[in-house]
Structure 1
Amino acid sequence: MLNLEPVEKTVTKTVPKRSDQPKMLFGKPLNPKNNSLNLIRLVLSLMVLFAHSFFIVGAGTGPTFKQENLGGWAVAGFFGISGYLITGSRFNNKIGPYLVHRVARIFPGFLVCLVVMAAFFAPVAYVIQHSSLHGFFQTPTTPANSIFANMFLRISTYDIAGTPAGVPYPGAWNGSLWTLYFEFLCYLMIAVLGSFAFFKKTPWPILAAFILSVILWANITRIDPYFQNNFDFNMLARLVPYFLGGAVVKVFSKRIGFNWQGALVAGVLGTICVLSFDGYGNQLAAPFMAYLLLWASTWLPSPKIVKTNDVSYGAYVYAFPVQQMLAVLGAFRWGVWWFTLVAGLATLIFAIASWVLIEKPTMGLARRRV
């Protein structure tokens, strides 16, 4: 984020000007106005869509590597990029504006998605299943309760009035939304850490927090019983290292820039981590994965319309219900590849509408009011 605060001139004829910024050891900083992060996040969203296609057409789990399918790796990438960007946002803003911006980015599009599923996707599926809407509004999980129960990001119900049914993956309209709860918890975590001056003054506390998060995940089987094997705790412990990995890259970005040599080193170290440490190597590699994605954004060509319009969030939240709707209509019989192609095109329509009608206006409003 650019610092637009006025700077007092202190240069005199006898005293040389000194920069408060440490000298960058190598590479160049990430240009916040000229990068391909929107494109990369859109690709990650489509990777999640592709991974889910295997489940939704009944073709298994799809390609996996080190206990993660393509969707799991894409989510790790999302959290790494988020850790970098959100840490920068918090460390350059007071907590009030920071939280307003985070709520404006996550909640409006999410809430509208819940309404669209309850008011459009589920009724169509219900009519196909029952030949009418009779009983739709009273059948558990009722449409109203599907919205209310999930509106604070923690997903507790996945079906709506017993739909979708008669498909290879029944009973779930959106298997992607659950990660948003943990993403927002990471936002709150960095909000708290950013309230302490020493986290801003030196990169070492964030690095220490990352190392502790990896240690926690590496020992999760020993720790879980003390939390009664709580699913939320387990998932948070799994995902926080990815977020903090991106935060580590951010706090060191004043000294370490982005270039191909750094990417080569990050690729080698990340690969060693993933292959050498079973159970927690993926998390240990988080800073290196985040560095690779951020470096790619400095050279990967991106259309201007994608740079200025971020439809990745809409693609992420609408992909699963679009896929399930296609499955209800019988498209799961097409096989993974054709199904993915059609689902991807249909998802982009919803994603563009979400960006133009909901996300962009609410974020603009938040910036003007805070």
Structure 2
Amino acid sequence: MSRLTPALGAVHGWANGQIQPDIAGGWAANPTEKPRNVQMVTDIMSAPRTFDIRRFPRLADRFDVERNSFGLIRLVFALGVLLAHARPLGYALAPLGARISANQSDLGTLAVQGFFVLSGFLVAGSALRHSLPRYLWHRTLRIFPAFWTCLLVTALIMAPLVALAEGRPLREFWTHHEGPISYLATNWFTSMNQFTISGLLSQTPYGQAMGGPSAFDGSLWTLRYELACYLLVGVLAATAVLRQAPRALIALLAGTYILILRDFAAAPGWAVRPAGVDQIGPFPLIGSFAPTWLLYFSFLFLLGATARVYMHRIPMDGKMAAVAAAIMTASLVVGGFAVVGLPCLAYLVIFAGVALPERFTRIGRKRDYSYGIYVYGFPVQQIVALFGGAQLGLTGYIALSLAGTLALAAASWHLIEEPAMTLRNATPSQFPTPFRRLSRILHTPASLLAAPRHSPSDKAAEDPASTPIPMRTSDEEHKPQQRPQPKHANETRILEDV
């Protein structure tokens, strides 16, 4: 009986409200005291959350027009393409990174894919701020002046020097059916249907591996895909999708991803690189497209554009970047990079642009050599290999190629690209005739084509958070603050990708 006394007393106390039962296995003598199991749940709920996405800063909070590292990232990508081409052009070997990724990708392909993500993010911002004719004018200034100059330098200066070095008669060089004039006429609008000039560059390591004449500038093939993505964003802007119906952008992105999933499901294995053997086209002036590359580049470009339109919703934090890096690395090694690695790459590109230390934001703000490095790297590497530069070893070959490429890239920027950018705010009367006609066709008021004025309404239009996109009340704290516009015109160049 003495053993039952405490228990009976506890039951009596419980019945009189003096003791509360604790399901976890005890008794609480104080009725106001929480049972241990309830206290445990409360402690868990109130504990600091180390991976709560709702608490992460948004992309709009971290993106600054004047202080970002996109100039540095673009330069790194351009140099990555040059480094990746060193082995095939100098030694007829596989590009850097191809073996590690089971040939799913390589350093150059990753750099080009990163270019498309970055371009989508910046170009979508330009389309949100400007009228369609102004947007197209900026895109034209960004691509064509430097591209046309590169074609002229390659066909009229580099190619004749190569012909002399290979002992070819100049008369035969100029009259060849795939000579320099044909090269210029065929590729003038980025079609790149002719890579060789007068049968040259067959004696380089790359030419010997190809079994005949080899390309003078094999990097230019991606520019027509870039132009196609520019036109896609232009259509989305002209139809008010970017501002009034951004969910259609998400639907378009989802559609491209479904097609990528379909290709991946039909592939024979996990580690498969896009084939790109079929063609769409040819289209007038711009040429043909490989459907697979068009799909993948469009997907990456749309990822960047979607991030720009929804940057007030997208969490941007180092923890998520670490997870994305781990997933991308695993997909490169194991397989499935096209399905899970590409979205992670897009996140990492944008995160690096907004999260790197401030000292990196000065790189490329006023002088951007990345485009020149990209378009001149390939022909310089071919010429250096032709004259035996690869015999110095991989490091020496890269150093010589980089020196020549940087010289041409600097000249391209200071003599061509930067002067062309001074025309970006040209008035309608200064526009070439096709753009004036396009302005009249679209019934665009001349005031919209003039240089943008930073009125309060313009600043509101510049911020996607002010567009009619539904937002939760909890997201109000993530609205970006209005920042003053930079005084120097070139300081906005990185954001506008002009």
Q: What amino acid maps onto 2:57 in structure 1?
A: F
Q: What amino acid maps onto 1:35 in structure 2?
A: N
Q: What amino acid maps onto 2:248 in structure 1?
A: P
| Residue 134 (structure 1) aligned with residue 177 (structure 2) | no
- In structure 1, how many angstroms separate the alpha carbons of the residues matched to 2:243 and 2:128? 6
Query: Post-superposition shift, 1:43?
Result: 0.9
Query: 1:319 maps to which residue?
Result: 377
Query: 1:70 maps to which residue?
Result: 107
Q: What amino acid maps onto 1:217 in structure 2?
A: I
Query: 1:295 maps to which residue?
Result: 351
Query: Post-superposition shift, 1:272?
Result: 6.5
Structure number with higher relative contact order (C-alpha < 8 Å, ≥ 6 residues apart): 1
- In structure 1, how many angstroms separate the alpha carbons of the residues matched to 2:184 and 2:133? 27
Contact 2:56/2:316 (8 A) holds in 1: no
Query: 2:494 maps to which residue?
Result: none
What secondary structure sits across from 2:64 in the alignment?
coil
| Residue 211 (structure 1) aligned with residue 254 (structure 2) | yes
What secondary structure sits across from 1:219 in the alignment?
helix
What secondary structure sits across from 1:147 in the alignment?
helix
Query: 1:244 maps to which residue?
Result: 302
Q: Which has the larger radius of gyration?
A: 2
With normalisation by structure 2, the TM-score equals 0.64
CA distance 1:196–1:320, change in 2 (3 Å):
same
Contact 1:322/1:346 (8 A) holds in 2: yes
Contact 1:241/1:283 (8 A) holds in 2: no
Query: 1:41 maps to which residue?
Result: 74
Contact 2:278/2:290 (8 A) holds in 1: no
Q: What amino acid maps onto 2:231 in structure 1?
A: L
Query: 2:420 maps to which residue?
Result: 362
Q: What amino acid maps onto 1:212 in structure 2?
A: G
Contact 1:140/1:162 (8 A) holds in 2: no
CA distance 1:303–1:297, change in 2 (3 Å):
closer
Unaligned runs of 5+ in 2: 1-53, 208-213, 267-273, 281-288, 428-448, 450-498
Contact 1:167/1:328 (8 A) holds in 2: yes
Query: Post-superposition shift, 1:151?
Result: 0.6
Contact 1:122/1:164 (8 A) holds in 2: no
The equivalences for 1:38-187 within 5 A come to 38-62=71-95, 63-64=97-98, 65=101, 67-130=104-167, 132-170=169-207, 171-187=214-230
Unaligned runs of 5+ in 1: 1-22
Q: What amino acid maps onto 1:155 in structure 2?
A: M
- Deviation string 1:205-253 (CA, Å, 9 cap, x unpaired) is 222211211222333497x9xx965452232112111111111211221
Give the alignment's Cα RMSD to 1 decimal. Answer: 2.7
Contact 2:82/2:377 (8 A) holds in 1: yes
Q: 2:401 aligns with which of 343, 348, 351?
A: 343
Contact 1:26/1:255 (8 A) holds in 2: no
- Deviation string 1:250-298 (CA, Å, 9 cap, x unpaired) is 12212235432342344355556667763xx435544432232222223
- Deviation string 1:92-135 (CA, Å, 9 cap, x unpaired) is 22111001100110011001100000111111110011264232
Runs of 4+ in 1 over 4 A off after TM superposition: 227-231, 268-277
- In structure 1, how many angstroms separate the alpha carbons of the residues matched to 2:317 and 2:304? 17
CA distance 1:139–1:344, change in 2 (3 Å):
same
- In structure 1, how many angstroms separate the alpha carbons of the residues matched to 2:295 and 2:123? 19
CA distance 1:115–1:233, change in 2 (3 Å):
same
Q: What amino acid maps onto 2:383 in structure 1?
A: M
Q: Which moved more, 1:122-131 or 1:301-310?
A: 301-310
- In structure 1, how many angstroms separate the alpha carbons of the residues matched to 2:414 and 2:305? 29
Q: What amino acid maps onto 2:417 in structure 1?
A: E
Contact 1:146/1:160 (8 A) holds in 2: yes
- In structure 2, how many angstroms separate the alpha carbons of the residues matched to 1:267 and 1:313? 26
Query: Post-superposition shift, 1:152?
Result: 0.8
- In structure 2, how many angstroms separate the alpha carbons of the residues matched to 1:131 and 1:195? 51
| Residue 188 (structure 1) aligned with residue 219 (structure 2) | no
- Deviation string 1:145-184 (CA, Å, 9 cap, x unpaired) is 1011001111101111111221111221011000000011
| Residue 26 (structure 1) aligned with residue 82 (structure 2) | no
- In structure 1, how many angstroms separate the alpha carbons of the residues matched to 2:415 and 2:315? 36
Q: Which moved more, 1:24-33 or 1:135-144?
A: 24-33
- Deviation string 1:23-57 (CA, Å, 9 cap, x unpaired) is 99624231121112111111111110111111111
Query: 1:307 maps to which residue?
Result: 365
Percent identity reads: 33
How many residues are matched?
Answer: 345
- In structure 2, how many angstroms separate the alpha carbons of the residues matched to 1:313 and 1:366? 17
CA distance 1:269–1:166, change in 2 (3 Å):
closer
CA distance 1:303–1:348, change in 2 (3 Å):
farther
Query: 2:38 maps to which residue?
Result: none
- In structure 2, how many angstroms separate the alpha carbons of the residues matched to 1:274 and 1:259? 23
Query: 2:338 maps to which residue?
Result: 282
